[in-house]
Amino acid sequence: MKLKYLYFFVLMLISYQGHTADDKDYTICSVAGFYEGNNNRFLTDLAERVAAKNNLFGDEKCTIALKEGKAAGGRFSKPGAERRVTDYEIIRNATHFSNLIYDSILSRVKF
C-alpha cells in the first residue's frame, strides 16, 4: 500500500509542469500603456510599478503589450475614434485594475 502512494506521489511530481517564461501574464503591461495613452499619470505609475515588481519590463512581449495599450488608451480618450476588437479587453482589464486600486484606497479611508 505504501508503495502505491509513493508511486502516485512520484508520478505527480513527474507530471507537474511548473510555470515557464512564456506563462507570464503581460496584462499589466497593456494596462500601464492604456493609462499612459489616456494621460492618467497616477494609474500609469501604479501599473508600471506592478510590472516592474513582476520583472516584466525589458521583456519584448511586455513592450509590445505596452504599445498596444497606449494605442488603445489614445483611441479611448478621443471621442468618435474607431476602436479595435482588442481594445475592449484592454479597457476591461484597465477598469478592473483601477477598481482594485480605488477600492483598496477607499477601504482605508475613515471619514
> To the nearest whole number, what is the mean pLDDT of the chain?
84
pLDDT in tens, 10-53: 444 444 444 444 557 899 999 999 999 999 999 999 999 999 99
Residue 2 or residue 111, greater confidence? 111
Q: What grid cell was written down for 17?
A: 509542469
Spatial separation of the C-alpha atoms in residues 104 and 108, rounded to whole Å: 7
C-alpha cell at 66: 505596452
**Do the Cβ atoms of 34 and 69 come closer than 8 Å?**
yes
pLDDT at 24: 73
Give me the percent of the chain exceeding a pLDDT of 90. 63
Distance CA 27, CA 14 (A): 30
Give the predicted TM-score (pTM) of the model.
0.75
In this predicted structure, the answer to whether residue 9 has a pLDDT above a threshold of 80 is no
Q: What does the DSSP 8-state code read for residue 78?
A: S
Q: How far apart are CA 32 and CA 8, in angstroms?
A: 44
